[in-house]
Every structure is written in C-alpha cells, then in structure tokens.
Amino acid sequence: MEATLLQITIYLGAMLVAVPISIRFGLGSVLGYLLAGIAIGPVLGLVGSETQDLQHYAEFGVVLMLFLIGLELDPRTLWDMRKRLLGLGGSQILLSILVLTGGAMLLGLNGPLALAIGMTLALSSTAIVLTTLTEKGLMRTTGGRGAFSVLLTQDIAVIPALALLPLLATASPVRFTEDGSIERAGEDAHHSISLVEGLPAWGVTLVTLAAVAAVILAGRYLSPLVFRIIHNAKLKELYTVAALAFVVSIAVLMILVGLSPALGAFLAGVVLANSEFKHELEADIEPFKGLLLGLFFITVGAGINFATLFSNPFLIIGLTLAIMLIKGAVLYGIARVTRMKARDRWLFTLGLAQAGEFGFVLVAFGVSQAVFPDFIAEILLLVVALSMLLTPLSFILFEKIGAHVADGFEEAPQHDEIDEEAPIIIAGVGRFGQSVNRMVRASGFKTVVLDSNLETIQLMRRFGLKSFFGDPTRPELLKAAGLDKARVLVVCVDDKQSAIKLVRYAKRNRPDISVVARAHDLLHVYELYEAGADHIIREVFDSSLRAARYVLEDMGLSDYEAHAMETAFYRHDRQNLRALAEVWKPGVPVTENAEYMRLTREMTDNLESAILTQLDQMQDEAAGARTPKRARGDVGALSGISRKTERPPAKAPRRPGGAR
C-alpha cells in the first residue's frame, strides 16, 4: 500500500512541477508530461517496471479523448467543411503516408511495417499547434485556418489508423482456422471473453455490424432517456457515473467484437454531437480525460530508452530532421497548389512539420498488437518527442521568415477600399461593438466600422450594415476612415495590446479626438487610461451593477432606494478607480506596488460608510424636492474611468410583470 501511494505521489508531483513550467515556456502540456516522465524515469530512476502496467490503464484516456473529439464533430459541420477536410487534410495525410512509407522501405523495412511507420509519423501535434496558433493570434489567418483543417482531419484519421494497425502486425494475435472461424492466439486467449471467437467469417461480420448498430441506436435513443432520468434525480454525481459508464460499456463492447474501443467511443461521440446533454457529457468526462492522457504521456516519457539515443545520436537526430523536412516539403507543395500567399504557406508548412501526440498513441497500440518491434518503437518514440520539442523553434523560424516575406516579397494582406468618412469611427464589431454601432446609428449619427474578422464583416453586410474589412490598428486605414476629421473613436477590438496601440496612436495624432475604449479587466483599464483614452468601459461592470440593484429590490428595498444605492456605489467606484489609476505603475504587479495596495485597503475599509453617506445626501436632496430626482444615464462612461464630467447610471425601466 505504501509503495503504491509513493508511486502515485511521484507521478502527480512530476505533473504539477513539469507541466506549468513547460506551458510557461510555450512548449505545451504534452511536452510537459513527456519531460516529467523522462525526469522520473530514465533520468532519476524513481519509477520502474510498474510504468508499463500503469500505461494499460492510462490508455483509456485515449478512448475518452476520441469520444470528446466525436462530440465536437457535428455531422453537418463536417459536411460544410468537406472541401477543406478532403482537400487540405486528406491530401496531406495521404501524401505524407506515401512519401514516409517509401522512405522507410528504402531503409530496408518491409511493406507493412513501413506503412505503419508512415501512418504514425504523418500526424502532427494538435495540442501544440492549436495552442501556439491561438496564443500568437494566427488562427484567423489563411495559414492558421488551413492548419486547423488539417489537424481536424488528422484527428478523424486516427480512427481508421487504429483499426488498420492490427492488420499490419508481423505476428498477429488473431488468425483464421481451416473452417473459417477466428481463433485468438497467445496465452491470454483462454482467459478473455469474445463474442466472435469460434464464429465463421460471415458470423463475425454480422456480430461486428450489430455492435456498431447498437452503439448508434443506444446513443440516439437510449442515452437521452437515461440522462433525463438522472436529471430528475437531481444528483450531480450521477451524471459523471452515467457518462463514464456509457463510454466504458462501449469500449468493452468493441473489445468483445474485436474492434478498437477508441473507434466505438468516437462513433458514439459523433452520434451524441447534437444531443442536449452534449455539454454535460463534456464537462463530466474532461477531467478524467485530461488526467488519464497526462498519465499516458508521462508513462510514455518514462518508458523512453535514452540508451538508444546515446548509442545512435546521429541516426535519431538525422531521422527527426529528415521526417520534418519530408513533411514540410509535402505541406509546402499543398500550400502552393491551393494558392496560399507566401506568409501563410510558411505558417502552414512550419507549423505542421512535426510528428504529434497521436504518434505516441499509435506506437503504444502498435507494440501491443505486435506491429512494431521494440527497437523500432523506441526509435519512433524518440523521433516523435524530438520533433515536438523542435516545434517552438519552427514557429520562431516562421516569425523570422514571415517578417522577411511580408517586407520584401509580398504585399500586405488585402483590405477593403474605404470610400467614406464619418464623425464616429468604430474599431471592432464583436458583440460589444455591434451594440454600440446599432444604438449610435439608430440615434441618427453616421459611423464607419472597421474589423479584421472577415466573417463578421460579411455577416454584417448580409443584414445591410455597411462595414469595412481591415486591421483597425493600421494608420492608413484609420486615415482613410477619416481619423483626421472624426470626433469620436470607439475602440472595441478583442486583443488588449491592439486596443492600447490604437488608443495611443489616435491620441498622439489627434489629441482632441474623444476615445471611448472597452477594457477587458481592471489592469486593462489602467493601461488604456495611461494610453490616453477618454472614456473606458469595463465590459461586465454595468451589467453587474444592474444585477446587484435587482438583488436589493428583491430583498425589500424600494425602487428608488435600490437606484440610489447603485448610483452611490457607482460614484464611489469611479472615484477610487481614478485614484488607483494615478498610482498604478506599468510593468509592476499591483501586489508589489506598496502605494496601490495601501490605497486599495483604505478604500475597502471606507466603502460601506462612503456609500451610506452618499445615500443619505441623495435622500435628503430628494426629500426637499417635489419629486425624487432621477439621474440621467451616461452610457459612454459608466464602468471604467472618464476624463470628462460624469453622470450616474440611469434608472432602468421595469418591464411588465416585474421583469427588467
């Protein structure tokens, strides 16, 4: 018992240390788990033979992962993306497999083993690439969208790969007898249960099809009934029990008929993609998937034989670089055929040139199915791990090449020709910007709308709202939109740094222009204030005030009293926020800013008395008037800092039936 607990502590402790460090340096969680396994296995020798036994349990994380992938793949969405999936993704997988298989055969490997290696190395790292594309803001580019399509296709391709690998085994655990029935080979055959053992070939086919049909029908008709019963029971833990039981039972059924449990889980996920319980299933299974997958990758890292690397360093490193070059050549050719621009071609090529985490899955599965000899498997694991470790360097190389291409050989991405000016410029039309634009235009004022999201611009045009595609932070676009003559600039872009850059540029060139900017959080308020914004709106502050006011009314305060409390809190917060902005220091954490922390504690202590004092003053003023005074709203300066005269929030009208 003590030994088991010690091993658990070692594995969990390694996760907690290595993964945050890996993410901090932009290497991704998968590499963090691998490095943790390498540290506690080959390097420190803290774990040993139990790693292989543990890996059998951890492999169920792969089943859960493919179930969740299936949940995300709405059949209608897949159909809409069919051209990208088949064109970019399908061609990349097929061409990479063909070239890599040919290369393996040239090295003297037999056909089935070479094909298994080609399938394993053709896949890229979904975890690392998607995380990096999102962090660097490259997902919306043509190259980023192309990479996403390829990765999605690869995720789907894992299913047929898992189904095909056992057929490539050099010492297959399954064989056909003379009478056409199937017999399981190996020592464990007598101890396992099978629904197809002893059946003729046609019987195996019927049972297998029946199992697949059972999964589809259960997902379509039985699971909603079960989850409704659980919902009526109102026990949260039963959702988790049902979700795990559902996936485990499907995995067992697939094993009983000789199919991959991952295939069944994926199929069930696709069937449930449109279910009303989809999000509940995701929330319940995600923690188990993450933990088991992390454990799986740790066991892979702990099982890597570095003696192989040290005994053949030039071979391993040479194979790694050769595979990345081969995949890169295939990807670059596809990008040229599909007419991507130079910068997008390099992003598409360098981003996907590595092998991926599914390579570990396929290697481990291939070893268990006698597809890969142990020595070949050790080399493959090292090659996959090294190529993933080189991925951050690939993105650094892309930034160098991309800057050179953009400056020297390629024109900037095409934007719309802006053919009109207006006194109000709105930069960014997400949910926030759209609401601002609609109200301003409904009040009779003309606006010019800019946004770098082409899909959003096209959607607005369908509703008859004229807008322009282009990066709002580019000076020439702002000038074309009439920055020199505009009276107001509304900054609603999603990226924090882009918003600060835009505010700073506008105030530097037009100190007299009024800038209304959206802030994502409190620190962003300070940054925008320092950049020169006139009115700063915290995106959720107004709604939280409104919600608090309704709470006060429901607790028995009168409509006017609740409004007065809201107004008093609003005024106090505005005063505090401006004072804090004056002592805030860029680049210094607020917890290390002594004056900021002192002022915050002082304001917190004085909050209740300050609000009650202002409330008493307002009530005294109201008592001396014929009717209570109602403050008018100032929508442009409610929830952040305003450099101009401010007015308190307006009283919200009450809807029929007491709703608001």
Same domain, 568 and 652: yes
Same domain, 354 and 486: no
What is the predicted pLDDT for the residue at 196?
67
User: Comparing 358 with 658, which gets the higher pLDDT?
Assistant: 358
Taking the model in full, what pTM does it have? 0.53
Name which of 89-98, 432-441, 473-482 the model is least confident about.
473-482
Same domain, 621 and 501: no
Same domain, 386 and 501: no
Same domain, 142 and 208: yes
**What CATH number should be reported for the domain holding residue 145?**
1.20.1530.10
Say how many C-beta atoms besides its own lie within 10 A of residue 72's C-beta.
Answer: 14
Checking if the pLDDT of 133 tops 70, the result is yes
The predicted-structure confidence for 2-22, as pLDDT tens digits, reads as follows: 776 787 788 888 888 888 887
Query: What is the secondary structure of 408-452 as a DSSP string?
Result: HTSPPPP--------SEEEE--SHHHHHHHHHHHHTT--EEEEES
Whether residue 282 contacts residue 221, with contact meaning beta carbons closer than 8 Å, is answered with no
Same domain, 55 and 196: yes
Q: Is residue 11 part of a domain?
A: no
Structure-token match 């609609």, residue found: 438
Same domain, 519 and 641: no
Tell me how many degrees the CA angle 409-91-166 measures, rounded to the nearest 5: 140
CA distance 615 to 633: 18
What is the predicted pLDDT for the residue at 629?
40
Same domain, 392 and 451: no
Q: Is residue 323 part of a domain?
A: yes
H-helix or E-strand containing 174?
Answer: strand 174-176
User: Comparing 476 with 103, which gets the higher pLDDT?
Assistant: 103
What is the predicted pLDDT for the residue at 513?
92
pLDDT band at residue 625 under the 50/70/90 scheme: low
Mean pLDDT of the chain: 77
The predicted-structure confidence for 449-493, as pLDDT tens digits, reads as follows: 888 777 777 777 776 677 777 778 888 788 888 888 889 999 988
Q: How many domains does the chain have?
A: 3
What is the predicted pLDDT for the residue at 74?
65
The predicted-structure confidence for 402-431, as pLDDT tens digits, reads as follows: 666 654 444 444 555 666 778 899 988 888
Say how many C-beta atoms besides its own lie within 10 A of residue 441's C-beta.
Answer: 16
What is the predicted pLDDT for the residue at 100?
92
The predicted-structure confidence for 19-68, as pLDDT tens digits, reads as follows: 888 777 766 677 788 788 888 887 787 876 666 667 666 767 777 777 77
CB burial string 138-147: b at 16+ within 10 A, e below? beebbbbbbb
The predicted-structure confidence for 354-388, as pLDDT tens digits, reads as follows: 888 788 878 877 887 788 888 888 889 889 888 88
Checking if the pLDDT of 183 tops 60, the result is no
333 contact partners, CB below 8 Å, separation of at least 6: 95
- Domain range spanning residue 499? 415-539
What is the predicted pLDDT for the residue at 97?
93
Q: Is residue 544 part of a domain?
A: no
Average pLDDT over residues 240-269: 79
84 contact partners, CB below 8 Å, separation of at least 6: 145, 146, 149
Average pLDDT over residues 70-81: 67
Same domain, 384 and 439: no
